[in-house]
Structure 1
């Protein structure tokens, strides 16, 4: 059955109301527009994110259920603690953003395709230069073996993607992220869509309406010094 999707024009604030998103596929809201930094910021502030493949137009989503985690509420298993100590990981904030997003864009074992296109990478690199997009890096013997990136829009961190080339490195990056967010007073990590990996770490689903309420009630103040490139020492191990 054909579906009707609003097509975005050149107005950077022109997004349909999120309650108009489709139920099948869940959360699909609009298509078109561009990935300019201001449009992306406007989208995230409204609970909307882009997700599309190379041969598709830009698709914008706001799912009916949102996967979230309260910083400080992460489940850290005994085996993960042992893995961290055994593998001698070190962590950092914003010391290798370009390398992290490039690694996140690499094909996975289960697919040769990636939704993090070159255009997408360029857009988030611009957001990083503007102080909105940030990364957590995991290192082992001087090599980048894991990490994640996302946007901080004041009180809420919108996670985008993570990667690992060594067992547990992406989980360790997530632990590092939530510790850093606790230290700067962040209230919520937006994980977007449900997956078992995040659920095992303590993420849960809330309704789109509840998530939008949290967005609207957040303190949007961003302090650049909170995201200066720095080493990150975990307190949990």
Structure 2
């Protein structure tokens, strides 16, 4: 049975239900979001519905040295087909993630309230973005939460082929160079699996998060 909010608190993630939901309600304040991510919890819900807080088991992650880069992607990156920047246009990135059409999805879970909340975290240096440019046009990117040793990926978008992959690979290389432990990808996705991500037990994820 998951927790219904009355104050700024999360129960132990072991109390999540079978789907991974640990709590319902609350708000998207910076304080609550920071507590959530540092506890291995993230919000994921449809606009207009109560906020759902998740800590799934297993957890999809990328150990940075397990990144898979295809020969074609290496060629694209080596040819500098894209210009890639860090944390220069956070609001444009998250807005594109909200608006991009995705196969099999009729809407988006990124509400305007979520954009406002994560932009506040960006102003605090906690939420960060990667931007991919082609001919001075923003064509791809991603954003997430930077915990200093773990980066929690939230969403990606791509308007041209391979743009989001370029953002992902560049981010992973940066994280590895700066001694991060892993990239949190939250839940299974076959596209992420093709890049080297895999599922691990939640207990292992939390142990790494707390180390």
Q: State the alpha-carbon separation in 1 of the partners of residues 26 and 121 from structure 2.
A: 17
1:67 correspondence with 2:60: yes
Q: Aligned pairs, how many?
A: 210
C-alpha contact (below 8 Å) 2:100/2:157 kept by paired residues = no
For residues 107 and 173 of structure 1, what CA distance do their matches in structure 2 show?
16
Matched, 1:49 2:46: no
1:98-137 aligned within 5 A: 98-110=91-103, 111-137=105-131
Taking only aligned residues, the RMSD between alpha carbons, in angstroms, comes to 1.3
Structure 2: give runs of 5+ residues left out of the alignment: none
Give the drift of 1:86.
Answer: 6.1
1:235 maps to none
Runs of 4+ aligned structure 1 residues displaced above 2 Å come to: 81-87, 109-112
Q: Matches of 1:123 and 1:85 in 2, distance apart?
A: 36
TM-score (norm 2): 0.95
Q: How far apart, CA to CA, are the structure 1 residues paired with 2:102 and 2:17? A: 30
Contact between 2:130 and 2:167, CA under 8 Å: does it hold in 1? Answer: yes
Instruction: Tell me the equivalent position of 1:175.
Output: 169
- Give the equivalent residue in structure 1 for 2:4: 7
SS of 1:72's equivalent in the other structure is helix
**Which residue number corresponds to residue 77 of structure 1?**
70
TM-score, normalising length: structure 1: 0.85
Which of the numbers 11, 14, 18 marks the counterpart of 2:13? 18
Q: CA deviation at 1:107?
A: 4.3
Output the CA distance in 2 between the equivalents of 1:65 and 1:187.
Answer: 18
Q: Is the aligned partner of 1:32 residue 2:32?
A: no
